[in-house]
Amino acid sequence: MKLNKLKSYINAFLLGMVMSMKVDELKSLGVDERILRLLRERGIEELYPPQADALKTEVLKGKNLVLAIPTASGKTLVAEIVMINKILREGGKTVYLVPLKALAEEKYKEFKFWEKLGIRIAMTTGDYDSTEEWLGKYDIIIATSEKFDSLLRHKSPWIKDINLVIADEIHLLGSYDRGATLEMILAHLDDKAQILGLSATVGNAEEVAEWLNADLVMSEWRPVALRKGVFYHGELFWEDGSIERFPTQWDSLVIDALKKGKQALVFVNTRRSAEKEALLLAGKIQRFLTKPEERKLKQLADGLDTTPTNQKLKEALTKGVAFHHAGLGRTERSIIEDAFREGLIKVITATPTLSAGVNLPAYRVIIRDTKRYSNFGWVDIPVLEIQQMMGRAGRPKYDIEGQAIIIAKTEKPEDLMKRYVLGKPEKLFSMLSNEASFRSQVLALITNFGVGNFKELVNFLERTFYYHQRKNLEALEGKAKSIVYFLFENEFIDIDLNDQFMPLPLGIRTSQLYLDPVTAKKFKDAFEKLEKNPNPLGIFQLLASTPDMSSLRVKRKEQEDLLDYAYEMEEYLYQNIPYWEDYKFEKFLGETKTAKLLLDWINEVNDVKILETYEIDTGDLYRILELVDWLMYSLIELYKLFDPKPEVLDFLKKLHIRVKHGVREELLELITLPMIGRKRARALYNAGFKGIDDIVRAKASELLKVEGIGIGVIEKIYQHFGVELPTNEKKKKVKKGTLDEFFK
């Protein structure tokens, strides 16, 4: 039986009978010679035991496999060997699914290595796109789950060539917001392609493996030993029972790590804590820096923008500490990550951004908090997550062991030890039942995947993890019914006399745009008011009110002002202002705040000013703008389906560009130029260069006088018009001439 086989793998590990394996032995397992050669070239002579276990299953012969082993214990290498071998032997395409855009980039860089064998690798996320045909030329396609789900919906012709799907971090099946997407992708493909699931250690990996009809390899083995403990008032209780004494405060653990010449990573549960602890620690560890290190750190800090949060970051950074959370901009994040890897930054205090994202190991990991505030109040952080944080301890090649230490404050240290150190991680549960994900998936099944009636819908649902796990579709069927009714009632689909589903244009477009049907409905319902009174604030408020947009939180002290603002602007809004006792009230104020921010943005309010006014960080602003860009486009696309008025459509399109770039209408022309964003465009405009013509006719030397315009920018603009400036000689010449003259 399958189960016995599973058990045998597990037992083999437990008994310590699994030995490591030489790379050469892979040959007998059918691994292509060329792969072995490159592995050796990379310096890999021997495989880690779990890697060997994984490859000894029938995964190389095409059998599905779930590999549940700790982070950094070599899951990726297994994936690489399996997929490259498959491509070399059988051809076909591999899709490599990741949960984060940052991980897509990381894997892309890693897999580039295999281009030596002529293997073509592409990455596609919401940021970096590529036409569908273009992707057809590649052997390995790295994508986020959502992006790939979207590609599936678009029915690209190359989808049929996929014969291997690798789901990295497959335990995200259990993620409340995003698990359903991954689950549906796997349900779609499990009879068409081989599946390799890479998972953290979870409570019920067997269940996932059974669902996928896969072998299971589990192990706790790590290349760097991990030593875990709990710290309580100066006493460090190691899991083996030994006790080590330190000064009472937990920061002594950080200082101790530095004394050993090592780095530390501190996990906390709020951004504010991350910033506070970073600054506190900075004062205490500065003395460990060498002069050259201080100089380099100073340089890094000087290179950062001067936003309120960056001021604090700079202060910490010059002292060898950084904080890391989602409020930071992308530049800041990657600077910090790189500098920590180099060893320049000694300590990072981080929110969970670092527990699941890019791999950033440190000798000692300190977990200050094990509770977190959520929508449902104060909750214990799941064991799975804490263990992922702990898993960041120990740098391969640098450390013999890594240490992960949980700080006990009010909780009993023995409770923390039992729960997080010795305890088993939670089981994974299907999140298909999450209504928001499910309705979007039901729509896609009908509009994009040819599900023609309720019976077929239920048949498909029987392939899901949800069904496998519960063996009972009743609840899901009930939900599906109400969703189908919702879709029918709102003209996403039609249902004919024989109860057959018929996709309607609104449904098809909604699914392609990857919108929540509720968002699409909100848009549709607003079109009448929008035509009567098209205005930015009303539109922004509409976007902010959809479930696809995460609006800002409103602080107590802002409530009154925002309500006044809403009443002042009432005539522009497409919805009524709710009463304060209404449950929608707080949500409404958040939407209003978001809309007001966006209005400031398109009126060219300085970004730092925006950050200060709304008490948000760069990363938050960036995320809002990213969402609005997508939703604004979607709004326009849906409006096109409803007999659009040309002038309204034109208004929306202009507004889209304005919000994308954060400019007033008069800058729309300048903004089309390369390297010209809201700041430079405004500077040019104020200097009298109001349009493309002015730029073309202007002398380069004149343009250079404008703030923010350097020779590099001019060069890019000239290139845009097909004029090359190859040498420095010419650059000087250009300053005198105009772009216009080049055309003669």
Rounded CA separation 598/2 (Å): 56
Complex with DNA: residue 55 or 628, whichever CB lies closer: 628
603-632 binders of DNA (CB under 7 A):
619-620, 623, 626-627, 629-630
- The interface region with DNA, picked from 174-182, 254-262, 286-294, 723-731 by CB under 7 A, is 174-182
CA distance linking residue 101 with residue 98, whole number of Å: 8
Q: Applying CB under 7 A, does 178 fall inside the site for DNA?
A: yes
CA distance 457 to 715: 57
For position 720 contacting DNA by CB under 7 A, the verdict is yes
Torsional class of 320: left (φ above 0), alpha (ψ -120 to 50), beta (otherwise): left
Q: Is there binding between residue 681 and DNA (CB under 7 A)?
A: yes
Three-class DSSP category at 162: strand
Q: Quick one: which of 352, 452, 578, 691 contacts DNA (CB under 7 A)?
A: 352
* Nearer of residues 69 and 552 to DNA, judged by Cβ: 552
Give yes or no for residue 585 binding DNA (CB under 7 A).
Answer: no
> Which of 351, 447, 594, 618 touches DNA (CB under 7 A)?
351
Q: How far is the CB of 436 from DNA (least distance, A)?
A: 10
Binding window for DNA (CB under 7 A); candidates: 45-53, 441-449, 469-477, 556-564: 556-564
Helix (H, G, I), strand (E, B) or coil at 607: helix
Footprint on residues 210-269 left by DNA (CB under 7 A): 269
Candidate segments 113-121, 239-247, 405-413, 693-701, binder of DNA by CB under 7 A: 405-413
Does an H or E element contain 371, and which?
A: strand 371-374
Instruction: Tell me whether residue 51 is annotated as binding.
Output: yes
Q: Which of residues 684-713 bind DNA (CB under 7 A)?
A: 708
Considering only residues 192, 272, 287, 412, which one is a binding residue for DNA as defined by CB under 7 A?
272
Q: Which of 624, 426, 636, 450 is nearest to 526 (CA)?
A: 636
Range in contact with DNA (rule: CB under 7 A) among 198-206, 406-414, 425-433, 685-693: 406-414
For residue 661, give both structure tokens.
Answer: 């770039």
Q: Which of 8, 242, 248, 270 binds DNA (CB under 7 A)?
A: 270
What Cα–Cα distance (Å) separates residue 676 from each residue in 2, 150, 228, 670, 744?
61, 31, 52, 7, 25
Q: Which of 668, 550, 518 minimizes the C-alpha distance to 602?
A: 668
Burial 43-76 (b: 16+ CB within 10 A, else e): eeeebbbbbbbbbbbebbeeebbbbbbbbbbbbb
Element (H, E) at 435: helix 435-448
Site string for DNA, 118-137 (x = CB under 7 A): -------xxxxxxx------
User: Under the criterion CB under 7 A, does residue 419 sit at the interface with DNA?
Assistant: no
Strand order in the sheet with 243-245: 243-245, 235-238, 225-232, 401-408, 364-367, 264-267, 347-350, 321-324
Q: Which of the 8 DSSP states describes residue 393?
A: B
Nearest in space to 42 (alpha carbons), one of 137, 92, 113, 95:
113
**Closest CA relative to residue 493, chosen from 281, 722, 483:** 483
User: In whole angstroms, what is the distance from residue 36 CA to residue 680 CA?
Assistant: 53
Of 78 and 313, nearer to DNA (C-beta) is 313
| Binding window for DNA (CB under 7 A); candidates: 172-180, 229-237, 472-480, 522-530 | 172-180
Select from 86, 147, 439, 596 the one that contacts DNA (CB under 7 A).
Answer: 147
Question: Considering only residues 50, 70, 179, 357, which one is a binding residue for DNA as defined by CB under 7 A?
Answer: 357
Among 240, 306, 378, 722, which residue sits at the site for DNA (rule: CB under 7 A)?
A: 378
Is residue 550 involved in binding DNA (CB under 7 A)?
yes
Which residues on neighbouring strands pair with residue 401, listed in sequence order? 225
- Three-class HEC string of 245-260: ECCCCCHHHHHHHHHC
Min CB(360)–DNA separation in Å: 13
Q: Does 308 bind DNA (CB under 7 A)?
A: no
CA distance 193 to 82: 13
Question: Is residue 593 involved in binding DNA (CB under 7 A)?
Answer: no
Number of residues that bind DNA (CB under 7 A): 74
Binding DNA (rule: CB under 7 A), the pick from 673, 698, 700, 703 is 673
The answer to whether residue 677 forms part of the interface with DNA (CB under 7 A) is yes
Q: Shortest gap between Cβ of 81 and DNA (angstroms)?
A: 27
Q: How far is the CB of 357 from DNA (least distance, A)?
A: 6
Which residue in the set 67, 661, 689, 703 belongs to the binding site for DNA (CB under 7 A)? Answer: 661
Say how many C-beta atoms besides its own lie within 10 A of residue 270's C-beta: 13
Site for DNA contains 271 (CB under 7 A):
yes
Binding mask 476-515 for DNA (x = CB under 7 A): ------------------------------------xxx-
Stretch that binds DNA, among 374-382, 441-449, 454-462, 568-576 (CB under 7 A): 374-382
Closest separation in Å from C-beta 531 to DNA = 22
Considering the rule CB under 7 A, would residue 634 count as an interface residue with DNA?
yes
CB 217 within 8 A of CB 65: yes
Determine contact, residues 152/124, Cβ cutoff 8 Å.
no
* Interface with DNA, residue 439, by CB under 7 A: no
CB of 59 to DNA, least distance (A): 27
633 binds DNA (CB under 7 A): yes
SS3 content of the chain, % helix, strand, coil (to 5): 55, 15, 35
Give the whole-angstrom CA distance, residue 79 versus residue 85: 10
> What is the helix (H) or strand (E) element at residue 98, kind and residue range?
strand 93-98
Q: Does 372 bind DNA (CB under 7 A)?
A: yes
**Shortest distance, position 675 Cβ to DNA, whole Å:** 6
**DSSP SS3 for 478:** helix
Q: How far is the CB of 629 from DNA (least distance, A)?
A: 4
For the CB of residue 93, give the shortest distance to DNA in the complex, in Å.
18
Nearest CB to DNA, comparing residues 353 and 448: 353
CB of 550 to DNA, least distance (A): 5
Please give the annotated binding residues for ATP, written as ranges: 51
